[in-house]
Amino acid sequence: MSRYERYLGDVAAIRAVGRSVRGWVSVVREPSGDLEVQIRPGMLRTLTAQQVAEELRTGLLAALADHRTQFRQLRIDYFGGPLGVAPFVDPAPPPLAATPGSAEALHDQDRRFQV
- pLDDT means per 10 residues, the chain with 115 residues, are 94 97 97 96 95 96 95 94 84 60 49 44
How much is the pTM? 0.75
17, 66 contact by CB (below 8 A): yes
The pLDDT value recorded for residue 111 is 47
CATH node for 3-112: 3.30.1310.10
The pLDDT value recorded for residue 81 is 92
The pLDDT value recorded for residue 6 is 96
The pLDDT value recorded for residue 70 is 96
25: which strand partners?
Answer: 39
93, 83 contact by CB (below 8 A): no
Domain definitions of the chain by residue range:
3-112
User: What span, in angstroms and rounded, lies between the C-alpha atoms of 89 and 92?
Assistant: 9
The pLDDT value recorded for residue 115 is 40
User: What span, in angstroms and rounded, lies between the C-alpha atoms of 27 and 60?
Assistant: 6
